[in-house]
Amino acid sequence: MPCPARFLQTLEETTRYFSGDASAWSMVGIPFTAKDGTRVVFREPETEDARSLMEFINSVIEEDMSGIMMDKKVTLPKERVWLRKILKEVSGRETVMLVVESDGEILGNCHVERHHMKLSHRAMIGIALSKEARGKGIGEALMKATIALTRKRMKGIESIDLFAFDYNKRAQKLYRKLGFVEVGRIPRAVKEGDRYFDELTMVLDLRNK
Ligand SMILES: CC(C)(COP(=O)(O)OP(=O)(O)OC[C@H]1O[C@@H](n2cnc3c(N)ncnc32)[C@H](O)[C@@H]1OP(=O)(O)O)[C@@H](O)C(=O)NCCC(=O)NCCS
């Protein structure tokens, strides 16, 4: 799938952008070919994405042991409000977000949000992909691209943290592969139905990297 014209067009161009040799406000769109040959684009979200984002996240929410915190499906009005807030934070350099698009459909997203006040040298990352996009190298590439964009856009970020449910071994393996280390665990932090699970805190140190 060709990358939309308004986005950076090639990996070379994107690499130049990430290394600072381009306008800081170019919209990012990175073509990526998954392990099974599926072609997707990692791109920044737009107002028109609300419906597709809602459909994607609702498909994850309805999975048993989804790995994500959300427990109730979202409505389109709520998704529009959330997306407006995200887009505002993106322009204020408080958030970066990339969605995975394939054939006009959103299959995932990854977003990094700066913490506030005395914690504002830190940020938090979250990622989710729809079922059909998993296990093909998309999650790893998407996280790497989102972290690279964070370093480019959000000045002063020294570390990125995340939470992972104890049962979510797949996600933990990906995070460890990318250099995140476990720094804490809250017992019985998560309650799904009548089942309890621990929650892990993991951190990626960005200093000297
Ligand atoms: C977790 C998630 C983002 C991983 O993305 P993905 O595209 O499936 O992962 P990738 O194919 O890029 O694989 C990257 C690494 O993750 C790990 N991984 C992926 N699938 C795995 C599986 N089924 N079992 C164990 N580890 C797995 C491996 O370390 C893999 O690297 P490798 O191929 O060199 O072994 C994705 O599966 C997802 O969205 N799951 C549902 C929502 C979720 O759990 N979000 C995270 C909340 S904390």
Summarised one tens digit per residue, pLDDT across range 133-159 is 999 999 999 999 999 999 999 999 999
- pLDDT classification of 18: cutoffs 50, 70, 90: low
Whether 1 shows a pLDDT value over 90: the answer reads no
**Best mutation site among 160, 173, 197 for ligand 1, i.e. most ligand atoms within 8 A of its Cβ?**
173
Q: Which atom of ligand 1 is nearest to the CA of 165?
A: 48
> CB–CB of 42/100 below 8 Å?
yes
CB atoms within 10 A of CB 44: 18
Whether 59 shows a pLDDT value over 80: the answer reads yes
Whether 37 shows a pLDDT value over 80: the answer reads yes
Q: What DSSP state is assigned to residue 132? A: G
The secondary structure element, H or E, covering residue 174 is helix 169-177
| % of the chain exceeding 70 in pLDDT | 88
Task: Give residue 9's pLDDT.
Answer: 52
Nearest to 106 by CA among 79, 78, 85, 66: 79
Task: Give residue 27's pLDDT.
Answer: 75
Task: Give residue 15's pLDDT.
Answer: 60
Cα 181 to Cα 200: distance, rounded to the nearest angstrom: 10
> CB–CB of 47/72 below 8 Å?
no
- Distance set, CA 34 to CA 38, 40, 60, 105 (Å): 5, 8, 20, 16
Task: Give residue 5's pLDDT.
Answer: 47
Strands laid side by side in the 39-43 sheet: 29-33, 39-43, 95-102, 105-114, 122-129, 159-165, 195-205, 181-192
Higher local confidence (pLDDT), 7 or 113: 113
Ligand 1 pocket, Cβ-based, cut-off 6 angstroms = 60, 67-68, 127-129, 134-140, 164, 168-171, 173-174, 177
The pLDDT tens digits of the residues spanning 120-133 come to 999 999 999 999 99
How far away, in angstroms, is 202 Cα from ligand 1 center? 16
Domains and CATH numbers, the chain: 11-205 (3.40.630.30)
Question: What is the sign, positive or negative, of the torsion defined by CA atoms of 131, 45, 80, 143?
Answer: positive
pTM of the model: 0.92
Nearest to 149 by CA among 83, 80, 208, 99: 99
Nearest to 206 by CA among 162, 150, 153, 164: 150
What does DSSP say about strands 122-129 and 105-114: parallel, antiparallel, or unpaired? antiparallel
Can you say how many angstroms the Cα of residue 69 is from the centroid of all Cα atoms in its chain? 14
**Tokens, residue 170:** 């797949």
- pLDDT classification of 209: cutoffs 50, 70, 90: confident
Task: Give residue 2's pLDDT.
Answer: 45
